[in-house]
A and B are shown apart, each in its own frame.
Chain A
Amino acid sequence: AQRVTQPEKLLSVFKGAPVELKCNYSYSGSPELFWYVQYSRQRLQLLLRHISRESIKGFTADLNKGETSFHLKKPFAQEEDSAMYYCALQTSGSRLTFGEGTQLTVNP
């Protein structure tokens, strides 16, 4: 069965510091992975997907099949990055399995 693990429920960094949100997955098929973000009082929205290999708001994530990881990184965190971040694995039929989420707080 598929599973997504985000080991940190809470992560706190200072503005300008690097940030890495960890995500590990288990899936027997070919994984499609996403990061979703939920800012305070806003709806859940897509941040980035691994197949796009793009940088959104300074965030990047690389799929490492050997380590079954899809960590989200940003070299210089900003206060507006404070949000709840969910890693998600897409399986058949466009169904998503979500990790438990990491609440990121960027302190001034």
Chain B
Amino acid sequence: SAVISQKPSRDICQRGTSLTIQCQVDSQVTMMFWYRQQPGQSLTLIATANQGSEATYESGFVIDKFPISRPNLTFSTLTVSNMSPEDSSIYLCSVQRTGELFFGEGSRLTVL
């Protein structure tokens, strides 16, 4: 299995500000994934983060809005920039191990 810790677990943010979410894994992994779950909707992949290279973003997501860092094999951050109420979501970090995806508990952001 994999133990994934995300911080913050929740936050209330003001429109126009930015927030960085941290994801820590208990052991080294090659790929880390960031998902978004908007209220009442399913999970949508934002980007894949590999250590030592730029993140790969899915259609509809751009680096300027969701910059990602991956400084080592156990840690990643996702920043939600210039937030608007539409960014109110749960953001989840996940990693793959032995063909299975493991998820963090998520970071619930509310943008006022």
Contacts and interface: CB of A to CB of B under 8 A. Distances in A.
A100 B31 contact: no
A101 B103 CA distance: 16
Interface stretch (B13-21, B39-47, B74-82): B39-47
B87 interface: no
B39 to A, nearest CB: 12
Contact of A94 (B42, B101, B103, B104): B101
B105 A49 contact: no
Interface residues of B, number: 20
Band of interface residues on A: 10 to 19
- Counting chain B CB atoms within 10 Å of each CB, the highest count among A43, A45, A86, A101 belongs to A43
A85 to B, nearest CB: 11
Given A96-B101, A101-B42, 20 more contacts: A34-B101, A43-B103, A43-B105, A44-B43, A44-B103, A46-B100, A46-B102, A49-B99, A86-B43, A93-B31, A93-B48, A93-B56, A94-B31, A94-B33, A95-B48, A96-B33, A96-B43, A98-B42, A98-B44, A99-B42
